[in-house]
Chain A
């Protein structure tokens, strides 16, 4: 369970994320059971009929990257490869994003935890994550994983 500092910091940053996602036809919802977990709905610009649901779970915000999983709906299962988009570095079979922007990526590559790949802690890292997820959907998306 996340600490009070994390929850306060998330509360300060979430409105900007919600506004950004809404501008791309998506939305942000806070999990009812875990206030440090959010569900993002986002659409690729090239396939606006496709909605992807992303579970983002923070443990120590803004100090550590969040766990990022694609789900089959808001509050849904995170074990379905079909919930994942086909984007380089997004591994539907492993159910993770192997990039220096997620807890899963940093766990796989400890060398990313320092230097230019390190998780950013200034400003609004939640927004940074949301922008990169939306950027990948808009610019690197080629379809839904089979």
Chain B
């Protein structure tokens, strides 16, 4: 993506297409274009807001990629690598029982 700055110069900004699936929603997946330095935590919070869910005392919502938890402080760019898109799943991690 190219953006025009106030000084009139143009620069290219890399954006990564993120998609977060959550099967028990009637809305379909959460989608956004984010810069690679954005964290997985910010994507998780945005997706939870989109799906209208929140963490509780005995459970938390986790972003997973390739089956594994993605730590909040990991950047989208680190997860995506050289790719221009990355798919996450939002999973309810239940700690009670």
* Cβ-based interface call for B56 (8 A): yes
- Residue of A24, A100, A124, A139 near B96 (CB, 8 A) is A100
Complex formed: what's the CA distance from A23 to B47 in Å?
23
Residues from chain B with Cβ under 8 Å of A134 in the complex: 67
> Which of B4-12, B38-46, B75-83, B85-93 is found at the contact surface with chain A?
B85-93
Over the window 113-130 of chain A, the binary record of Cβ atoms lying under 8 Å from chain B Cβ atoms (1 yes, 0 no) is 000110011111101100
Residues from chain A with Cβ under 8 Å of B22 in the complex: 123
Chain B, interface size category, equals 20 to 34
Q: Are B24 and A99 in contact (CB under 8 A)?
A: no
- Residue of B25, B67, B94 near A99 (CB, 8 A) is B94
Residues from chain B with Cβ under 8 Å of A45 in the complex: 67-68
Q: Which residue of B lies closest to A134 (CB)?
A: B67
* Cβ-based interface call for B84 (8 A): no
Interface size on A, residues (CB 8 A): 27
Q: Are A135 and B91 in contact (CB under 8 A)?
A: yes
* Cβ-based interface call for A105 (8 A): yes
Q: Which residue of A lies closest to B54 (CB)?
A: A116
Q: Are B23 and A125 in contact (CB under 8 A)?
A: yes
* Cβ-based interface call for A97 (8 A): yes
Complex formed: what's the CA distance from A117 to B55 in Å?
11
Residues of B near any A CB (own CB < 8 A): 22-26, 56, 58-59, 62, 64, 67-69, 89, 91-97
Residues of A near any B CB (own CB < 8 A): 16, 24, 45, 88-89, 97-101, 105, 116-117, 120-125, 127-128, 131-132, 134-135, 138-139
